[in-house]
Amino acid sequence: MQLPYSEELNIECLGRLFDKRSECYKFFWFKAIVGKVLDGRLELSYEELVDEMIADAWYMVTEYHLNLGPKDSLESLVHLIKEKYPQLKSSEKKSVLLGYLKDIKDKDIISGKRTLTRNVPYRLQSPFMPDITGKAWDVKKIELIARINQKNRLMYYFNELNGLSTQIIVQEDWARYIQKNQEIIKGWLEYHMIQYIQKRNPNVPGIADKLYPPEKRKLEKVKKYWKLILSIKPIHEIYGDNVITAKNLSIDHFVPWSYVAHDELWNLNPTTKNINSAKSNNLPDWDSYFNKLVEQEYQAYQLMWQYDSVYHEFEECAKDHVNNQDVLYRVYRKDLKLPEFSGELESIILPVYQSAKNCGFHNWKYEEKCV
């Protein structure tokens, strides 16, 4: 992906920001700078940029269980904050996260923030400074800043070194370039982030959908399909064996959406709102629930071929929620017996389930609360 040309700025060096990327810091640091520039800010403290980095990585690490790199300090800091502040949800709004991060005084977390500023503020711009190599980066930070500040046409320069309160000053010509070309720059950054994260999570699907907070899923067609089935025959949800009604119906992703990042029908099952909330983004215990899932899905399959009205709703639902013709044939073709249906469904779901388990999604069993 090529960045727009500029007569005044060294875009060739900008395009090489991520050539050397053993860890993820450069992506998140640059992303934070771009976001602030688009908000009209040019004087930025280390701490506010680090807080942005943490908030941007929060969903990837806590909601999607992505690996950001071997012994990655940003990933470790996110886990530490989640451990110390369990009230922060994995799907927490970014504004809430930033509010917490701004007020945190915990020594371990402050130390983690400082670690994130050890190299990336200086080395991000290394393509613009080819004469600084090897041990030249290892001098005292005050000396390094003085040397960098003597360079011409950098994206940003440094104010006086002052821990996390140290400020960078984004240059106005670079700010104008970012603002003018913001969509291309954001797409270019996203492209490189996807490449980096996919390499470290080779078996995880839907990386492109996991760079940002989860959006509200559109499952109205699936709900309509199951509501029609419920009107014909009582259906029990698989976790607590409760009868599902049109009023309490909720659609569950058997393997969490935060892993699969899709709404394919073979992974969706009806449950109640309370149970779906309790399950959250955990993995249901396979031995306890897969056979029940098969029984529930086979009931729907039988009704689909028995009633024209159900088949019609299935066809409407399949337009958005069955996007693989091989799956459509294997699981939903006519005249499947229960053992064959079960085998086909297992062959599709189990590899995805195992991969999610390997990524750290927690095993879950429903425990009914006593009233």
Q: Output the DSSP codes for 231-289.
A: HHS--B-TTT-PBP-TTTEEEEESS-HHHH-S--GGGEEEEEHHHHHHHTTPEEPHHHH
- pLDDT at 211 (0 to 100): 86
What is the mean pLDDT of the segment spanning 286-290?
A: 97
Both tokens of 18, joined, read 């991520």
- Residue 295 vs residues 76, 227, 290, 339, 342: alpha-carbon distances, Å: 41, 17, 9, 10, 8
What secondary structure letter does DSSP report for 42? -
For the chain, which residues make up each domain, given as ranges? Answer: 11-210, 220-364
- pLDDT at 330 (0 to 100): 94
Percent with pLDDT over 70 in the chain? 98
* Polymer length in residues for the chain: 371
pTM score, whole prediction: 0.78
pLDDT, greater one: 1 or 38: 38
Work out the mean pLDDT of the chain and round it to a whole number.
Answer: 93
167 near 159, Cβ under 8 Å? yes
- For residue 91, what pLDDT band results from cuts at 50, 70 and 90? confident
Q: Output the DSSP codes for 76-114.
A: HHHHHHHHH-TTS-TT--HHHHHHHHHH---HHHHHHHH
What secondary structure letter does DSSP report for 208? G
- pLDDT at 370 (0 to 100): 46
The 3-state DSSP class for residue 219 equals coil
What is the mean pLDDT of the segment spanning 167-191?
A: 95
- For residue 371, what pLDDT band results from cuts at 50, 70 and 90? very low
What is the mean pLDDT of the segment spanning 179-190?
A: 93
Both tokens of 346, joined, read 């297992």
If you compute the radius of gyration of the chain from its CA atoms, what whole number of angstroms results? 25
> How many H helices and E strands in the chain?
17, 7
Report phi then psi at 76, rounded to 5. -65, -40
Cα four-point dihedral sign 231, 237, 241, 244: negative
Report phi then psi at 306, rounded to 5. -90, -35
- pLDDT(23) > 90: no
